Structure 1
């Protein structure tokens, strides 16, 4: 679970440090660059919705998300493995909440289980992650191929892809209590690779 209090103070400390240096904090449109290639970008959003990008040094950590080599990386429990998710940028809101909207998993696809979704959402910054109870499988061009509300913890993306008859599934998981809050996996089964898109 993301530690909201720690993330809040870390975010404020980073922002304060950047703002104390003239010309360092730049509006999003100005596209600031990192001091080092291993720095990672953070989108900070104030209470008016204004977005500023700052860069933090390698090794900076927000909960389960850490900066490594210019990218944000995170794993999840209890299914943690050598293959982690990688994100280009994270967002920190005015209350210190941290979230990831998009990430990539390299080296895994078909073996990702529905039971992992809750933990992936938790690692990505969702304060109240859900267990999915429905899934929609689409083709690469967006055509709906298969829908089910009979998910189990062990249902895999490969299982759903097989039902849909595709080796390049786009699988959208959701919970009927929060139908607009989705996590979508756009995958290739061979070689295994998935991108993740979270709609908050």
Structure 2
């Protein structure tokens, strides 16, 4: 008897979940930024080379990389980097506040209606931490941790501070204490990707529902 070699819906779903799991570890949302596109009149023209963001079950992490060495604001060094990360939680430019990125960008409006922003300047008051500001009240709701390396920084922001949102638009603008000098992305905004584990979980739920329906039919 000849077997049907076509994939059944269940086999196809299982295969898709396997591919998702394998690719989860290598998934990235890094956005490259052109080298040499610094603007303004800062003392140190900080030039971004990329920005990235990913979310876990408890926090969203932002990674900014630079062409040249940087330092923390609390170092009060000529190459200390300051700036803002804008968070548009509902992905609606008509709600929230006018983004800091839009305010200081030579390009103009980034189409971000920011409900919150991360204030990199604030690290000078508490080393290793930055304020997370609610734009409706213009008050901090807490702090996110920030780790500075030679040419990068990593901000880890607890989701509880931004109402648990895991799918939102964002943008960043950086500079020194005198002036802003670069933004990422250069135009518009970036989007925090949906957690890969959530996508995989959705497919696993669908598989379970499909198998339950099959059992009921017998």
* Same topology, TM > 0.5: no
Asked which structure has the greater CA Rg, the reply is 2
- TM-score, with length taken from structure 1: 0.31
- TM-score, with length taken from structure 2: 0.29
Name whichever structure is richer in helix by fraction: 2
Indicate the structure whose relative CO is greater, using CA pairs within 8 Å and at least 6 residues apart: 2
